[in-house]
Structure 1
Amino acid sequence: MRHRQMVPPTSWELDQAPGDLLKVVQQTRQSWQLNPEVLSLRPLLYPFESGGAAQQMGDCLEFFLLESMAYTLSPSPAGPIGTQYCVCKVELSVCGQNLLDRDVTSKSDPFCVLFVDVNGKWTEIDRTETAVNNLNPAFSKKFIVDYHFEEVQKLKFALFDQDKSSMQLYEHDFLGEFSCTLGMIAAQELSDNRVITLSMAGRKLDKKDLFGKSDPFLEFYKPGDDGKWMLVHRTEVIKYTLDPVWKPFTVPLVSLCDGDVEKLIKVMCYDYDSDGGHDFIGEFETSVAKMCEAQDTLPLELECINPKKQKKKKNYKNSGVIIVKSCKITRDYSFLDYILGGCQLMFTVGIDFTASNGNPRDPSSLHYINPMGTNEYLSAIWAVGQIIQDYDSDKMFPALGFGAQLPPDWKVSHEFAINFNPTNPFCSGVEGIVQAYSACLPHIRFYGPTNFSPIVNHVARFAAQATHQEFAAQYFILLIITDGVISDMDETRHAVVQASKLPMSIIIVGVGNADFAAMEFLDGDNRVLRSYTGEEAMRDIVQFVPFREFRSAPKETLAKAVLAELPQQVVQYFKHQNLPPLSSEPV
């Protein structure tokens, strides 16, 4: 493994525009051999385009970087370039100052929308909450963006004044926007995967409503590098009570306290008002270390203080008590954590040799190897295999076939080793799979039917043995390449539902121009897959991709589409089983 150094620009020079300005506070840190080093902290000024005459308006977008660590896995020389790079996460915090006031009888109700450039078109990624009657909003919603080091990622931040409950942006007043690239921003990478889960309550809070009780909510702040408090999290509002119990919530530890459990944080309690003029109840300062003293049987109680009341009233005690019922720090492991922790991806290929593919000697056959030495089956094997083989240390992969008659008795088999060695069906790397595939074609007879369940159950038997592991050591991936409709759909549905309980995923690549509606049915993106017994799949483990949509596209495009859901499926399984990576640090 090698480490790529990312050196963000340490400064930009930009003339101040006479109109609106957007200020980006930059804190960059360089990572070289995993040693972060502070490089600079400089304010940046960007012109803010409001779409009309220049207005005196200054918006502030704050981006922070903790450790800019880039990992890349060495690709095979013949493999597609770029697809092996691991992805970093960055967190973008947005706040505004002196925004345009578009409302007549009140102030603007701003929200921010993040767009990314996808093939020349701006595509909405996410949007913040709406800050009611507020020209200086500090949005608690963070934008989480995948940072691809090898790509130029164009971003656009647009502010709108909410007028209706509609999700359509044209229904709201446009305040302004600006564009940049993610590479220009020193952003906060979520390299610390610890998260904190808090369970909070209140007791005898001050009554703020004239004809009722309070509607309390909490806001959590951490100190910024400029010395100002930065909003990190806002709880939900609990209506009509002085003794609220908030739902447990989880926040990245790096967001709450920059990963420093001793750092002071401020908690402020407000009474919610629909017009945005929330009434201040009280506040207190604490630390994560202090809150972790809370136990399920012995909660931590912190006095909520209103400084103005404290000065005015001699007998003032507090404005209520905030109770930390429980505080737990855990690790939110990512796909990269499991892979770098030593998890092996166990790759198996299943190839369709049914008669509908055509005679492999005929150029119209899907198994015909053209003068360039390839066909759609080989293209799919290369595209997927060259990515996955980097995550398997021995690079020995079983390659199985189905739907063919085998010598010497020419019986149909739906689960045979294409190297004709049933006791050792392993091929050395993707090259070994390709060689075994080419060698077996002249020695088998294409037949049928198209049965998937035997190969699914074959891999599932090995995956079931891995369920006894105490760490995230192995995850099994079955790539099925087929040209047609499944003959044993009921048995295959049942096999997939059972496999959804195991450390296993299934990738199906459909070659040719057949109707692949049944494959879409197995891919549970839009519905929960059920067995013929009525049992539901525990999770979606099937990803189907029709090869015809990628015939003229680069290999990388097919690989990205085929493997799009795999990282999420791996993480989902190990989290559900509460299995940490093989190499993991204590919390």
Structure 2
Amino acid sequence: MAYTASPTPAGPIGTQYCVCKVELSVCGQNLLDRDVTSKSDPFCVLFMEVNGKWVELDRTETAVNNLNPAFSKKFIVDYHFEEVQKLKFALFDQDKSSMQLYEHDFLGEFSCTLGMLGSCSRSLLPNGEEGGLTWPSCCLTVNRLLENHCVTHTVLPQDLFGKSDPFLEFYKPGDDGKWMLVHRTEVIKYTLDPVWKPFTVPLVSLCDGDIEKLIKVMCYDYDSDGGHDFIGEFQTSVARMCEAQDAFPVSAITRDFSFLDYILGGCQLMFTVGIDFTASNGNPRDPSSLHYINPMGTNEYLSAIWAVGQIIQDYDSDKMFPALGFGAQLPPDWKVKCSGGPHV
């Protein structure tokens, strides 16, 4: 899967200032074919769990007659480091113009947390059984977007197309060496001199923040049945476009590192617990003690460990969390230990 965020405003620090926007990109391979006389027309729907219920956030465009779609529509989501944000990606085969999902054929779904997407490698390849159906091979890529870290492209008219319906697709090379769709323009109907609307693409989405990285631009003649005719292609880079300001007006490029930038760069967090077992905390059988062993729930220590650990676990690769204690009476001599190693 693959995020624009305003610079952090001046003022008191709070959770509202620790939010950035992320962009989730989706592409699929070998999707289920639910049509009889043609191939499936897939689209992807993103859900987020809110108060225990799945709420639809957005949908991609429909890829007509295509079992290997690369959706140009990106999902933009607010990323909160301190929260567990549960996401679900569901694929459907469009059969009608209805917005009701039950009127379209279900192809498969995949659930994860936003933290998992940010902390794993750039892409996630889910496979398995979901809802009785096999989830197809699907690449999910996550990127962070910045309003002051983007590039605007304006394509000038070219007398190359004849009477066609041209549109452009912009690609960047993925980690696997394959070209990944970044942006698709609108279609200009029946023209010799197409002029596409100016558009903005975050630099991290366009070239992973590397202005020397090659970008491939492909031009097609649109066909309603999905069989678009190839017209031509060329390769360039943001650096080259910056040098040709008359042809490619580009906004200022700056860099503003955030917590998520470090996570996407490979930084991990380790979670270690230290617990005071001394008698000053009270008898564990006494409900007033922080160490109270509550048969009906958790004590204050367990609640704190659970709340923090549930967030941190997505950013720790080995999922091992050392638990250290001091002030405990340990066998075989049962003497109070002022400090010690792992007890859990």
Cα distance change, pair 83–347 in 1 and its aligned pair in 2 (3 A): farther
- Shift in Å at residue 190 of structure 1? 2.7
- Shift in Å at residue 500 of structure 1? 60
> Is contact 1:156–1:180 with CA below 8 Å preserved after alignment?
yes
Distance 1:115 1:104 in 2: 29
- Shift in Å at residue 400 of structure 1? 52
Distance 1:246 1:356 in 2: 72
Distance 2:240 2:339 in 1: 41
- Shift in Å at residue 335 of structure 1? 15
Cα distance change, pair 190–361 in 1 and its aligned pair in 2 (3 A): same
Cα deviations by residue, 1:175-231 (Å, 9 ceiling, x for unpaired):
11111111229832336841111xxxxxxxxxx999982100000000111101010
Cα distance change, pair 389–174 in 1 and its aligned pair in 2 (3 A): closer
Cα distance change, pair 166–369 in 1 and its aligned pair in 2 (3 A): same
Which secondary structure state, in structure 2, belongs to the residue aligned with residue 329 of structure 1?
Answer: coil
Are 1:180 and 2:112 matched, yes or no?
yes
- Shift in Å at residue 244 of structure 1? 0.6
> Is contact 2:3–2:24 with CA below 8 Å preserved after alignment?
no
Distance 1:285 1:269 in 2: 12
Cα distance change, pair 164–499 in 1 and its aligned pair in 2 (3 A): farther
1:194 maps to which of 140, 149, 165: 149
- Shift in Å at residue 270 of structure 1? 0.3
Note the residue ranges of structure 1 that are not aligned, 5 or more in a row. 1-68, 198-207, 300-327, 412-496, 504-587
Distance 1:283 1:353 in 2: 68
- What percent identity do the matched residue pairs reach? 91
> Is contact 1:109–1:130 with CA below 8 Å preserved after alignment?
yes
- Shift in Å at residue 118 of structure 1? 0.4
TM-score by length of 1: 0.35
> Is contact 1:79–1:386 with CA below 8 Å preserved after alignment?
no
Distance 2:3 2:339 in 1: 30
Cα distance change, pair 119–356 in 1 and its aligned pair in 2 (3 A): same
Cross-structure match for 1:160: 92
Cα distance change, pair 408–74 in 1 and its aligned pair in 2 (3 A): farther
- Shift in Å at residue 83 of structure 1? 3.9
Cα distance change, pair 179–108 in 1 and its aligned pair in 2 (3 A): same
Cα deviations by residue, 1:343-371 (Å, 9 ceiling, x for unpaired):
99999999999999999999999999999
Cα distance change, pair 403–136 in 1 and its aligned pair in 2 (3 A): closer
Distance 2:313 2:10 in 1: 12
Which secondary structure state, in structure 1, belongs to the residue aligned with residue 240 of structure 2?
Answer: helix
- Shift in Å at residue 140 of structure 1? 1.0
Cα deviations by residue, 1:219-278 (Å, 9 ceiling, x for unpaired):
000011110101000000001013211011111011001111111110000000000010
Which secondary structure state, in structure 1, belongs to the residue aligned with residue 303 of structure 2?
Answer: helix
> Is contact 1:75–1:390 with CA below 8 Å preserved after alignment?
no
Cα distance change, pair 272–360 in 1 and its aligned pair in 2 (3 A): same
1:386 maps to which of 310, 314, 330: 310
Which secondary structure state, in structure 2, belongs to the residue aligned with residue 113 of structure 1?
Answer: strand
- Shift in Å at residue 87 of structure 1? 1.2
Cα deviations by residue, 1:540-578 (Å, 9 ceiling, x for unpaired):
xxxxxxxxxxxxxxxxxxxxxxxxxxxxxxxxxxxxxxx
Which secondary structure state, in structure 2, belongs to the residue aligned with residue 179 of structure 1?
Answer: strand
Distance 2:191 2:4 in 1: 52
> Is contact 1:358–1:366 with CA below 8 Å preserved after alignment?
yes
Distance 1:407 1:362 in 2: 23
Cα distance change, pair 346–246 in 1 and its aligned pair in 2 (3 A): farther
Cα distance change, pair 122–410 in 1 and its aligned pair in 2 (3 A): closer
Distance 2:338 2:219 in 1: 48
Distance 2:175 2:276 in 1: 60
Cα deviations by residue, 1:142-192 (Å, 9 ceiling, x for unpaired):
112122122111111000111122222122111111111112298323368
Cα deviations by residue, 1:85-115 (Å, 9 ceiling, x for unpaired):
6113222110001001111111111000000
> Is contact 2:328–2:337 with CA below 8 Å preserved after alignment?
no
Distance 2:341 2:100 in 1: 41
- Bigger proportion of residues as helix: 1
> Is contact 2:165–2:222 with CA below 8 Å preserved after alignment?
yes
> Is contact 2:173–2:215 with CA below 8 Å preserved after alignment?
yes
Distance 2:101 2:77 in 1: 21
Cross-structure match for 2:19: 87
TM-score by length of 2: 0.58
> Is contact 1:215–1:241 with CA below 8 Å preserved after alignment?
yes
Distance 2:280 2:191 in 1: 69
Cross-structure match for 1:547: none
Distance 2:192 2:205 in 1: 29
- Shift in Å at residue 81 of structure 1? 12
Cα distance change, pair 80–502 in 1 and its aligned pair in 2 (3 A): farther
Are 1:359 and 2:283 matched, yes or no?
yes
> Is contact 2:4–2:202 with CA below 8 Å preserved after alignment?
no
Distance 1:355 1:289 in 2: 66
> Is contact 1:70–1:86 with CA below 8 Å preserved after alignment?
no
- Shift in Å at residue 291 of structure 1? 1.5
Which secondary structure state, in structure 1, belongs to the residue aligned with residue 34 of structure 2?
Answer: coil
Note the residue ranges of structure 2 that are not aligned, 5 or more in a row. 117-139, 153-157
Distance 2:248 2:7 in 1: 53
Cross-structure match for 1:340: 264
Cα distance change, pair 268–381 in 1 and its aligned pair in 2 (3 A): closer
- Shift in Å at residue 336 of structure 1? 13
Structure 1, 119-128 or 357-366: larger mean CA deviation: 357-366
> Is contact 2:284–2:292 with CA below 8 Å preserved after alignment?
yes
State which structure, 1 or 2, has the greater radius of gyration over its C-alpha atoms.
1
Distance 2:227 2:206 in 1: 25
Which secondary structure state, in structure 2, belongs to the residue aligned with residue 393 of structure 1?
Answer: coil
RMSD: 14.3
Between the two proteins, the alignment pairs up a number of residues equal to 312
